[in-house]
């Protein structure tokens, strides 16, 4: 049971400083992400209530700043993975008898890059990392039944992405920037 003095102190700090901490976070990431980071900052403050200095505002700003930096790192890692998947997918398959397999792999990587982080994680945990659904459910933090439902939905979205790709004309992005993408011309034999 929490100490009543700790509860009273935290409540007073929260009431006094929440608007300013929230405004600080909004100024850094915008309104949409600010509530989550502000809430997490006050969760940290609650867990470390005994470490709370006499003047808590700079300390709270420091916590919020660290959480913001961590969110930037997470976003950068996610974006880097998406960029890498798109780079792999944009590569031209080599000629020869392996061309079809390479083209199929490139198409799969393109489709994966278009999926959400969550869908990509579910699919790769099972397919690339060879986890059982039970193990993957533990990684994701859900029940085995819930994982099966999520995996099924992710597979359906991947299938739709692959189908949409097969219907779209081939695009030549090897020598042009993204604003100059043009359909490939089929070779006439």
At residue 112's C-alpha, the angle toward residues 186 and 143, to 5°, is 155
Task: Give the tens place of pLDDT for each residue, 71-91.
Answer: 888 888 888 877 777 666 555
| Strand ranges, E, within the chain | 171-172, 182-183
Q: What is the pLDDT of residues 6-43, one digit of tens each?
A: 999 999 999 999 999 999 999 888 888 899 999 999 99
Q: What is the pTM of this model?
A: 0.47
Q: Are 49 and 12 in contact (CB under 8 A)?
A: no
Domain spanning 106-183: which CATH class is it, in words? Answer: mainly alpha
**How large is the greatest C-alpha to C-alpha distance in the chain, in angstroms?**
84
Q: What is the pLDDT of residue 102?
A: 65
Distance of CA 119 to the CA centre of its chain: 10
Helix/strand/coil for 137: helix
For the chain, give every domain's residue range.
4-76, 106-183
**Stretch 143-157: mean pLDDT, rounded?**
92
Neighbours of 57 (CB within 10 A): 14
> Which of these, 7, 19, 74, lies nearest to 45 by C-alpha position?
7
Average pLDDT over residues 163-173: 64
d(CA 107, CA 88): 10
């Amino acid at each position: 049971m929490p100490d009543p003095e700790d509860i009273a102190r935290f409540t007073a700090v929260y009431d006094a400083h929440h608007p300013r901490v929230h405004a600080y976070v909004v100024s850094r990431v915008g309104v949409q992400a600010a509530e989550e980071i502000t809430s997490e900052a006050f969760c940290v403050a609650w867990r470390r209530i005994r470490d709370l200095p006499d003047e808590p505002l700079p300390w709270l700003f420091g916590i919020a700043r660290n959480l913001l930096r961590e969110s930037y790192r997470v976003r950068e890692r996610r974006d880097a993975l998406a960029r890498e998947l798109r780079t792999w997918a944009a590569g031209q398959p080599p000629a020869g008898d392996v061309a079809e397999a390479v083209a199929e792999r490139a198409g799969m990587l393109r489709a994966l890059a278009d999926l959400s982080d969550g869908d990509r994680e579910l699919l790769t945990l099972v397919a690339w990392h060879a986890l059982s659904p039970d193990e993957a459910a533990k990684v994701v933090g859900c029940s085995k039944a819930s994982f099966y439902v999520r995996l099924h939905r992710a597979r359906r979205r991947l299938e739709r992405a692959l189908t949409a790709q097969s219907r779209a004309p081939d695009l030549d992005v090897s020598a042009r920037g993204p604003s100059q993408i043009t359909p490939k011309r089929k070779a006439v034999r």
